[in-house]
């Protein structure tokens, strides 16, 4: 990835996160790779398609925690590397569902996404906008930045941010995982948030 493209993505991601979180980012004493929002954020009812081909709203109260990783199946390096590292700690992430959010709905069909994510771990899922037209709105809602990069002819690739939103069982955005330096620390941060919410605790408590 060229340095200037990386800088653009980082700036866009920072701007998007700022729009959604304002000054309400809270990083408790035990959190090292995550930011826990002081107040859960409502998500819009944008239609998404799952790996099973079902259409559901993004803000559906699924009863399940979802860790959203932005990426796409044609990604050459960052996506497969991150998914591989998440797969290493998959049992420690339960009950959280690792879900790839494809920023390339033109090429990433539900069938392709299912085959791709389950190569890394059978429990992994994926979602994509039901309509290409709603991709910008979905990305904004999840504070994901992306940019299409033309290649030779009609070919293209995509640059995208890598912060991972965490959605609670009620379909609300509750945290962001800003990096995946240490998988064990990452899993511990995730479990801290999930268990704290279950106990009715808030950030910094």
pLDDT (tens digit per residue) in 51-95: 999 999 999 999 999 999 999 999 999 999 999 999 999 999 999
Is residue 71, in this structure, part of any structural domain at all?
yes
Task: Quote the tokens at residue 10.
Answer: 């980082």
For residue 146, the SS3 value is strand
Number of domains in the chain: 1
Element (H, E) at 186: helix 183-198
CATH of the domain at 178: 3.40.30.10
Is residue 204, in this structure, part of any structural domain at all?
no
Per residue in 33-43, pLDDT tens? 899 999 999 99
Locus of tokens 């605790």: 201
Is residue 50, in this structure, part of any structural domain at all?
yes
User: What per-residue confidence (pLDDT) applies to 178?
Assistant: 87
Nearest Cα to Cα of residue 146 among 168, 162, 134, 125: 162
Is residue 205, in this structure, part of any structural domain at all?
no
User: What per-residue confidence (pLDDT) applies to 205?
Assistant: 47
Number of other CB atoms surrounding residue 53 within 10 Å = 10
Are 110 and 49 a contacting pair, CB within 8 Å? yes
Is residue 65, in this structure, part of any structural domain at all?
yes
Dihedral (C-alpha) 122, 83, 203, 144: value to the nearest 10 degrees? Answer: -120
Is residue 150, in this structure, part of any structural domain at all?
yes
Is residue 92, in this structure, part of any structural domain at all?
yes
Q: Which residues contact 170 (CB under 8 A, 6 or more apart)?
A: 40, 61
Nearest Cα to Cα of residue 110 among 55, 70, 187: 55
Residues of the chain with pLDDT under 70: 1-29, 204-205
Is residue 130, in this structure, part of any structural domain at all?
yes
Per the structure, the complete domain to which residue 188 belongs is given by 3-198
């Amino acid at each position: 990835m060229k340095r200037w493209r990386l800088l653009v993505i980082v700036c866009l991601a920072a701007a998007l996160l700022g729009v959604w979180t304002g000054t309400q980012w809270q990083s408790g004493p035990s959190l090292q790779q995550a930011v826990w929002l002081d107040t859960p954020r409502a998500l819009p009812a944008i239609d998404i398609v799952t790996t099973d081909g079902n259409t559901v709203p993004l803000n559906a109260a699924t009863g399940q925690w979802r860790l959203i990783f932005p990426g796409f199946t044609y990604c050459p390096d960052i996506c497969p590397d991150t998914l591989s590292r998440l797969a290493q700690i998959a049992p420690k992430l339960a009950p959280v569902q690792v879900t790839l959010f494809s920023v390339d709905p033109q090429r990433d069909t539900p069938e392709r996404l299912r085959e791709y994510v389950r190569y890394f771990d059978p429990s992994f899922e994926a979602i994509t906008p039901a309509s290409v037209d709603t991709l910008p709105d979905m990305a904004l809602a999840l504070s994901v930045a992306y940019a299409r990069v033309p290649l030779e002819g009609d070919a293209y690739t995509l640059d995208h941010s890598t912060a991972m939103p965490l959605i609670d069982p009620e379909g609300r955005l509750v945290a962001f995982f800003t990096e995946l330096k240490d998988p064990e620390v990452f899993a511990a941060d995730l479990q801290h948030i999930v268990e704290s919410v279950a106990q009715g605790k808030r950030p910094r408590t």
